Amino acid sequence: AWGGAAVTVKLGSGTLAIAIEDPEHVGRGVAAVTVDGRPVDDGVIAAPAAGATRHVRVRLGRRHASAASI
């Protein structure tokens, strides 16, 4: 089983640096999402500003009430 993955996506003239973590090796579900260290509760990740990078962290696992739907 894999423990995670990372991908960098160019979006317009900005960048999304996405890290997917699966510390419990469940392989499904979204336990938590953060963007630039802040929790995302509504599943919406705004595009980065021109020249900026937004850091997205997705932790797989059992969903909690505050986890985003993706």
- The pTM of this model reads 0.82
Q: Which tens digits make up the pLDDT trace of 2-20?
A: 789 999 999 999 999 999 9
Domain with 50, as residue range(s), is 4-60
Separation between Cα atoms, residue 70 and residue 4, nearest integer Å = 17
- One-letter amino acid at 39 equals P
pLDDT beyond 50 at 69:
no
Q: Which tens digits make up the pLDDT trace of 44-57?
A: 999 999 999 999 99
Q: What is the largest CA-CA distance in the chain?
A: 37
Q: Is residue 67 part of a domain?
A: no
* Percentage of the residues of the chain whose pLDDT score is greater than 70: 87
Q: How many domains does the chain have?
A: 1
Q: Is residue 40 part of a domain?
A: yes
Q: What is the mean pLDDT of the chain?
A: 88
